[in-house]
Structure 1
Amino acid sequence: MPLPLYLLALAAFAMGTSEFMLAGLLPDIASDLGVTIGTAGTLTTAFATGMIVGAPLMAGLARNRPGRSSLLGFVLVFAAAHVVGAVTPSFPVLLATRVVAALANAGFLAVALTTAATLVAPDKKGRALAVLLSGTTLAVIAGVPGGSLLGALLGWRATFWAVAALCLPAAIGVLTRIPALPVHQGAAGGPALRAELARLTSPRLLLVMLLGALVNAATFASFTFLAPVVTGTAELGELWVPVTLVLFGVGAYAGVTVAGRLSDRHPGPVVAVGGPLLLIGWPALAVLAHRPVALLTLVFVLGALSFALGSTLIARVLYEAAGAPTMAGSYATAALNVGAAAGPLVAATTLGTAAGDLGPLWASGLLVLVALLVAVPLRGVITAGRSSEVLQ
């Protein structure tokens, strides 16, 4: 894989750290800025909303600009938003910086996904996507626990400064190593924006986007609420929470890496094996969560399966959206983040039920079941045509 892909992954690492780090910082932010924890939690909602809206919006605005300048601009705006967030004493300003950072993150990922596909051979899109997403999974492994530790030692503002600092080598790498060529053939030689948006009428594209969103929703439904399961159901100490999150992240990295070598030519086996195993795995975790060894083992396995299946489906989005060279990445980004936003909302509705802290795990199983029920009867639709091998 070419070096520029790894530089894009570095930026994805910084942005992934920012996306996930708030889970361990909300109490300190709420106390420092004089708001409730519930109000501070809207920072997460604002970021997710900005990601969903920002992916197609930013990709559309950047479609006639060279990929390098667009990527550089998004990284610098992302860094600037964190600098402002690190110094502001105002919660509304901090909330606004999260929206701006999310828009920049969404724009970066949308352009980066498309750029990554142009840096490799046409049949290597899945491997390129795996390298790019490895930055996000490494953020779960190292960035988020490191951010939480830094916040505990130096305060939450230090974590914002650290994210801004991580953007600098990424910006230098983009400036010096990413080709200056446009992401597409140019406004005159490439398809018009209306034609690219028209790809969204393709049943196969919509289906793989829906499946990717459902699998990602299942992933984040449980990931968001793992801490109460660790400290409550499993009766482990609070120090085991970051350990559990790291295990999930290590599994996710392994899953993305393995799937990246299979998703281009053999997506069918990944979906056919990963889907049913996830359907069994999430309920199994709910049943066995009171056993620490089983909990930690299953968290690793489910992290691997979730990201292997999710990254494979998102790679299929890039294939199905091949006729939309500048917008394909935004479709993939939107699918990922619709799932990331919807999953925790679905899971939250289960917390007040008899299932208690285990409710999100059952919700994840239900979301995977819905994905499989959607996929199976429409197998013929999504496997028809040269580019559709999703469930073959």
Structure 2
Amino acid sequence: MPLPLYLLALAVFAMGTSEFMLAGLLPDIAASLDVSVATAGLLTSAFAVGMVVGAPLMAALARRWPARHTLLAFIAASAATHIIAALTSNFTILLLTRILAALANAGFLAVALTTAATLVAADRKGRALAVLLSGTTAATIAGVPGGALLGTLLDWRATFWAIAILCLPAALGILKGIPTRSIHSESDTAPGLRSELAQLARPRLILVMSLGALVNAATFGTFMFLAPIVTDTASLPDLWISVVLVVFGLGSFLGVNLAGRLSDARPGLVIAIAGPLQLLGWIALALLATEPLALLALTFTQGVLSFALGSTLIARVLYAASGAPTMGGSYATAALNVGAALGPIAAGATLTAGHGDLGPVWASTVLVGLALAIALVSRRALTSQAPERLSSAGR
């Protein structure tokens, strides 16, 4: 894989830490700003909604801009929003900063995904996606737990300041690794924007985006409410929140890299194995979360399965959106974040309804079950968008 791809992953680490960091901070933010944990969870949903809206919007605006300038602008905007968030004591303002940060993050990730696809051969999009998403999984291993630990030892605001500082090395990586040129190397022959948007009407693209959204909703639904499960259900001290998040991150890192080796040539195999196992894993977690060792083990395995399955489906989005070379990355980003928006909403609804700390886990179970039911009915379409020689291998 080319060096610029790894430098993009470095920047994705900073942006990914921003996206996921609230998983360990929601109780503290809720207490500090005098709102419920479920209400604080709206910060995650607002961020995800901003990502969904921002991905196609920002990608459309930046489709002819030089990649390096575009990515740097998004990183600078992200740093500014985190500084404002660290300074405010008003929940509404904090909510607005999360939306603005999401717009910057969405634009960055959409452009980064499209750029990554131009850096590799046409039949290696899944592998390139795995490298890029390794920045996200590294964020769950180090960035998010580190943010949770920083919030525990100091204050949740310190985590926002840390993200703003992280944007500096991310910007330096972009300056070093990404040339000043259009993100689309064949801009003269690129389809028009209307033609690229028309790809969204294709049934296969709708299918893989929907499945990716459902799986990501299940992942985010539980991930964002892990803190009360750790401290209240498993009765572990607050510092164990960071440990559990590290365990989940290690699993997700393993999962995305395993999928990266298989998702181009054997996507059907990954989906057929990881999907049912993920469903069983959520059920087991809901039943065994009171036991600390079981919680740790299942958190790891669910990290592996969630990111193996999720990244494979998102790679399918890139293949299905091959007719939208400058917008395909935004469609993948939107699919990820529709799930990231719906998951915490569904999980928060279980808390509001009085189903206890494990309500989000049962919500994740339902979401994955629905995804598997749809995938079973539409299984042939899931692998047919890869190059011909790869499609036959994946079925």
SS of 1:55's partner is: helix
State the partner residue of 1:347: 347
Q: 1:69 to 1:365 in 2, by over 3 A?
A: same
- Mapped to 1, the partners of 2:244 and 2:118 lie a distance apart of 36
CA distance in 2, matches of 1:180, 1:43: 35
Residue 49 and residue 107 in structure 1: after superposition, are their counterparts in 2 closer, same or farther (change >3 A)?
A: same
Confirm or deny: 8 A CA contact 1:271 1:391 kept in the other structure: no
Kindly state the Cα deviation for residue 70 of structure 1 after the two structures are TM-superposed.
1.1
Q: Distance in 1 between matches of 2:210 and 2:230?
A: 30
In structure 2, do the counterparts of structure 1 residues 209 and 166 end up closer, same or farther at CA, with 3 Å as the change threshold? same
- CA shift for structure 1 position 41: 4.5
Q: CA RMSD in A?
A: 2.2
| Residue aligning to 1:129 | 129
1:302: Cα distance to partner?
0.9
Conserved 8 A contact 2:44-2:344: no
Aligned partner of 1:99 in structure 2 is 99
Q: Which residue does 2:54 correspond to in 1?
A: 54
**Against the structure 1 CA distance between its residues 229 and 375, is the aligned structure 2 distance closer, same or farther, given a 3 Å change threshold?**
same
Amino acid of the structure 1 residue aligned with 2:118: T
* Residue 300 of structure 1 pairs with residue 275 of structure 2: no
Amino acid at match of 1:258: L
Gaps of 5+ in 2: none
Deviates more, 1:357-366 or 1:98-107: 357-366
Q: What is aligned with 2:374?
A: 374
Aligned-pair CA distance for 1:84: 2.9
d(CA) in 1 for partners of 2:47, 2:13: 16
- Give the CA deviation at 1:151: 2.9
**Contact 1:64-1:186 within 8 A present in 2 as well:** no
1:315 is displaced (CA, Å) by: 0.6
In 1: Cα distance, 2:222 partner to 2:40 partner: 21
Task: Report what 1:219 is aligned to.
Answer: 219
2:320 aligned residue = 320
The runs of 5 or more residues in structure 1 that have no matched partner are: none
Question: CA, structure 1 residues 278+28, in 2 after alignment: closer, same or farther (shift >3 Å)?
Answer: closer
Q: Secondary structure at the match of 1:349?
A: helix
Quote the Cα distance in structure 2 between the aligned partners of 1:338 and 1:126: 21
Render the CA deviation track for 1:77-126: whole Å, top value 9, x for unaligned. Answer: 11122223334455544333222211000000000011111111212111
Partner residue in 2 for 1:270 = 270
Partner of 1:72: 72
Evaluate the alpha carbon distance shift between residue 355 and residue 85 of structure 1 in structure 2; reply closer, same or farther with a 3 A threshold. closer
**Offset of residue 166 of structure 1:** 1.1
Q: Which residue of 2 aligns with 1:286?
A: 286
Q: For residue 35 of structure 2, what is the aligned residue in structure 1?
A: 36
Does the CA-based 8 Å contact 1:382-1:391 persist in structure 2? Answer: no
Contact 1:68 1:175 in 2 (8 A): yes
Question: Structure 2: how far apart are the matches of 1:349 and 1:198?
Answer: 35
Amino acid corresponding to residue 312 of structure 2 in structure 1: T
Provide the secondary structure at the position in 2 that maps to 1:351: helix
> What is the rounded CA distance, in whole Å, between the counterparts of 2:81 and 2:385 in structure 1?
44
8 Å Cα contact 1:48-1:337 kept in structure 2: yes
Is the 1:183–1:325 Cα contact (8 Å) retained in structure 2?
Answer: no
Distance 1:271 1:72, change over 3 A: same
Q: Structure 1 residues 197, 292: closer, same or farther in 2, change over 3 A?
A: same
The superposition leaves residues 299-330 of structure 1 with CA deviations (integer Å, 9 ceiling, x where unpaired) of 10111001000001001101111110111000
Q: In structure 1, what is the equivalent of residue 233 of structure 2?
A: 233
Distance 1:87 1:233, change over 3 A: closer
Name the SS for the 1:130 alignment partner: helix
Counterpart of 2:263 in 1: which secondary structure? coil
Q: Does 1:63 align with 2:63?
A: yes
CA-CA distance at 1:295 after TM superposition: 1.8
Contact 1:62–1:70 (Cα < 8 Å) also in 2: yes
Aligned residue in 2 for 1:175 = 175
Amino acid at match of 2:35: T
Distance 1:27 1:356 in 2: 15
Q: Structure 1 316/87 Cα, relative in aligned 2: closer, same or farther at 3 Å?
A: same
Q: Identify if the C-alpha distance between structure 1 residues 352 and 41 changes in structure 2 by more than 3 Å, giving closer, same or farther.
A: closer
Matching residue of 1:16 = 16
In structure 1, the residue matched to 2:256 is 256
Equivalent residue number for residue 245 of structure 1 = 245
Alignment pair present for 1:160 and 2:179 = no
| Contact kept in structure 2, 1:13 and 1:135, CA below 8 Å | yes
- The aligned residue for residue 210 of structure 1 is 210
Corresponding letter in the other structure for 1:349: A
Aligned residue number for residue 198 of structure 1: 198
Give the TM-score of the pair, scaled to structure 2: 0.92
Structure 1 CA distance, aligned partners of 2:41 and 2:262? 38
- TM-score scaled by structure 1? 0.93
SS at the partner of 1:58?
Answer: helix
Checking the alignment, whether the CA contact within 8 Å between 1:14 and 1:139 is kept in structure 2 is yes
Distance 1:194 1:134, change over 3 A: same
Query: What's the CA shift for 1:203?
Result: 0.8
Of 333-342 and 148-157, deviating more is: 148-157
